[in-house]
Amino acid sequence: MTPSFRWLIPVDLIVLLLAISSLGFGLPPTVPDQTTTPGCVPGVQTSREHFLYIMQTIADGWNTGNARLAASCFAQDAIYSAPPSSGRRGRNSLYEYFGGARGRALPMHMTWHNLLFDRKQGIGVGEYTFRYRVQTHGLVIVKISNGLIRNWREYETQSNLDWTDFIGDNRF
């Protein structure tokens, strides 16, 4: 007869160990997996529905700290600006600007309020509220080419008001 061993670990000790491990002492902040979400793909015929998908994918990427997802919606040679700034050029530059592999220091939050698209010109417009270090309300105009954003130009103003109070009685 071979001896058998039983490990007896008190349940309280297991719970304590699990609680300590979940605190992440000494570990870098968790960055969302940026390789599993497909994001935007070039070559898609741009329709209103595709434009809405692009804009929501960017918001989803920013809102979840997934820079790769957000950057996937921009062409390799995209131009991203907020005049009068000359802005950033290229998908790789935008990937880093959106947080890169390590993420941003604070969470970003983007909410779209109105999105419009002119298929003939390949130009879309969106009103938004964005929070990072401060809250802004703004408008962006984008040019879509080959299914991706080629140009992004935004205008915004800082405001602590929520969207409804910001726009006042001029609702539509």
pLDDT digits (tens, 9 = 90+) for 16-26: 334 433 343 33
Any idea of the CA torsion for 172, 121, 125, 132, to the nearest 10 degrees? Answer: 170
Task: Give the whole-angstrom CA distance, residue 71 versus residue 23.
Answer: 30
Check residue 143 and give its pLDDT: 98
Check residue 37 and give its pLDDT: 55
Average pLDDT by stretches of 10, the chain with 172 residues: 46 40 37 58 90 97 97 98 94 97 94 97 98 97 97 98 96 90
Check residue 172 and give its pLDDT: 87
Check residue 32 and give its pLDDT: 41
Query: What are the pLDDT digits (tens) for 109-144?
Result: 999 999 999 999 999 999 999 999 999 999 999 999
Token code pair at residue 24:
């992440």
The predicted model scores a pTM of: 0.77
Contact 31, 101 (CB under 8 A): yes
Check residue 164 and give its pLDDT: 96
CATH of domain 42-167: 3.10.450.50
